Amino acid sequence: MNRRASDGGANIHSYLRQMTAGNSQTGSVETLPVRGIAVMSFLNSMYKILNLALP
């Protein structure tokens, strides 16, 4: 259970790093809303997965 949670945390960190790296490369304001929606949907799916994993 703990190993699964830590793997999910590592995935979140790598995902956020990819998002911030992509944003710094483009430097466009237009990508901000899209990035926000992507992060929110990602966190929502992670919350559902953790909800199912926990008893």
Give the pLDDT confidence of 5-49 residue by residue, as tens digits: 555 566 766 766 666 665 555 555 566 678 788 889 999 999 998
Residue 11 in contact with residue 45, Cβ under 8 Å? no
pLDDT of residue 1: 45
Q: What is the DSSP letter of 30?
A: T
Describe the chain by its helix, strand, coil percentages, rounded to 5: 85, 0, 15
pLDDT of residue 43: 92
H helix runs in the chain, sequence order: 2-26, 31-53
> pTM here?
0.37
